Amino acid sequence: MGKPKGFLEIPRKDPGCRLKNERVRDYEAVEKHLSHGEILEQASRCMDCGTPFCHAYGCPISNVIPEFNDFVFRGMWHEALQILLSENNFPEFTGRICPAPCEAACVAGIVTEPVTIRQIELAIVEMGFERGYILPDPPKTRSHKRVGIVGSGPAGLAAADSLNRAGYPVTVYESDLQPGGILRYGIPDFKLEKWVVKRRIRLLEEQGVLFETGIRVGEDISYRYLTRHFDAICLACGSRRPRDIRIPGRELNGIFFAMDYLSRQNQLIAGENVLPSHELSAKGKKVVVIGGGDTGSDCVGTALRQGALGVVQLEILPRPPLTRSETTPWPMWPLLLRKTHAHEETEEPRWGVITKEFMGKKGDVEKLRCAEVRWQSPGNGAPAVPKEIPCTEFVLEADLVLVAMGFESPETNPMVESLGLEGDARGNLKVDTMGMTGVAGVFAAGDMCLGQSLVVRAIADGRKAAQGIRKYLEGA
């Protein structure tokens, strides 16, 4: 490496966020960027470790991290970009929203702070766009075999990009008005501005990928239609069936699923027509978010920007420790408290709380009856379960409740049902090592077979499915 002792001499530097009173007034990106000089310094902190766990263990797409860090330190941005793109189709996405498991596995993190890998990755790809290194580059030759992809989220886009670069004509079908899936409709603009998504979609189109939007496969077009036009099909429809909370009062008005809430806000920001009856705003309301994960945090940030009177976030799990738990030693993804920018804008979740009942009048929610819980193991090695702590009940006022408790499985799909595709115990599609379902030529990728996961894992699975499709078509 260019500076073997850089990790000892130079402290880690994170970019930080825009001022709180400024950023809550708009939907622009919250996180700032490191300067050119700061990126070079941070890249020099990458140590010459014998086994790069960041690459081999931490990163789901096996980014070749030490090498691109070294090229950045030497000012060789084009070479760094080539290495980055060799494993990651969309570093402009992961560089903005990935929780960076690679950094949790960084060897330097054992003795000091880990390298700012995500920020370096983002700097590389943005430098690539800025300097014109990333330009439309359609394949010189085309195969006569065609591939249809259902879903334009990170897995579908990764599969489409990989197959298109290999020379296969690809058509992507999307039920929404614009391609991008969760990248466009699920993640708020203040985490991933949509010009970033549009730029990549435009590049894919210029390289030959066709997008057909506003089409529901299984309803608007059939499996028979797809088999007549394509030699292989990849299902990448995500896992969007939300986990519900089944307690008294659930039927009251004013209780919505988080993804419905976030999607409508993204549609409004994008200028899409949203019927007045479908508008969903927290303006002037007392908001309670049930669920302490990233989606719940996104709801908190969105509600504050809409002008909520106040936002409370509830989480049934206990408060994580401030430092890495002994149960998740290096290089595992550590169990520890992570405060998002939304928590800085209001307050962190109320931990160890269960919601017992929704209460209201005239059909509208007005209050939540809650209680504190303690997690206890029943013994015999069984996992811990929440037990209500006596005399801890309390009531929260709420005009709007957002349920952000994760997702159970893929949504019902007529094509999946008509083909009789087999699922696992959780309802995710079963696939073989090539990513193919039980029907020859029909593949699946992303959350549809992984279950709810990270964007970076969806990209990795889309790449894997593309490799499987290539082997299938070449073998056929």
Whole-number percent of the chain with pLDDT over 70: 99
Beta pairing class for 394-397 and 400-403: unpaired
Q: What is the DSSP string of 87-117?
A: T-S-HHHHHHH---HHHHT-GGGGTSPPP-H
Q: Does residue 416 lie within any of the structural domains?
A: yes
The whole-number pLDDT of residue 31 equals 97
348 with 325, same domain: the answer is yes
52 and 31 assigned to the same domain: yes
Number of domains in the chain: 3
- The greatest distance separating any two alpha carbons of the chain, rounded to the nearest whole angstrom, comes to 72
Q: Are residues 276 and 159 in the same domain?
A: no
Dihedral pair phi/psi, residue 397, rounded to 5°: -80, 145
Q: Do 400 and 413 have their domain in common?
A: no
Whole-prediction pTM:
0.95
Q: What is the pLDDT of residues 136-155, one digit of tens each?
A: 999 999 999 999 999 999 99
- What pLDDT band is residue 234 in, cutting at 50, 70 and 90? very high
Closest CA to 62 of 459, 329, 469, 471: 459
Whether residue 138 is contained in a domain is answered as no
CA dihedral of residues 113, 117, 123, 129 (deg, nearest 10): 180
Indicate the pLDDT class of residue 476, thresholds 50, 70 and 90: low
**134 vs 5, more confident:** 134
Residues 303 and 343 in one domain: yes
Q: Is 137 among the domain residues?
A: no
**What would you report as the CA-atom Rg of the chain, rounded to the nearest whole angstrom?**
23
463 within a domain of the structure (yes/no): yes
Task: Give yes or no: residues 89 and 157 share one domain.
Answer: no
- Taking 80 as the threshold, does the pLDDT of residue 454 lie above it? yes
CATH classification at residue 258: 3.50.50.60
The answer, yes or no, to whether residue 276 has pLDDT greater than 80, is no
CATH number of the CATH domain containing 103: 1.10.1060.10
* Stronger pLDDT, 468 or 383, i.e. the higher one: 468
* Average pLDDT value for the chain: 94
What's the pLDDT at 14? 96
Domain assignment present for 141: no
**Which of 373, 405, 437 is the endpoint of a domain?**
405
Give 2's pLDDT tier (boundaries 50, 70, 90): low
Q: Is the pLDDT of residue 71 over 90?
A: yes
Residue 459 reports pLDDT greater than 90: yes
Lowest mean pLDDT across 65-74, 408-417, 463-472: 408-417
Structural domain includes residue 1: no
State the average pLDDT over residues 415-432. 89
Q: Domain range holding 447?
A: 147-240+408-475
* Same domain assignment for residues 424 and 399: no
Residue that terminates a domain, selected from 344, 378, 405: 405
Closest CA to 365 of 296, 265, 308, 286: 286
Residue 251 corresponds to which tokens in the numbers above? Answer: 């039927």
pLDDT by residue (tens digit) across 249-258? 999 999 999 9
Q: How far apart, in whole angstroms, are the C-alpha atoms of residue 367 and residue 370?
A: 10
Same domain, 116 and 186: no
What is the Cα 40 distance to its own chain's centre? 28
95 inside domain: yes
Mean pLDDT of 313-334: 94
Give the model's pLDDT for residue 277. Answer: 66
- Residue 139 maps to a domain: no
Which CA distances in Å does 454 have to 121, 155, 173, 255, 457? 17, 10, 22, 26, 5
What is the predicted pLDDT for the residue at 278? 67
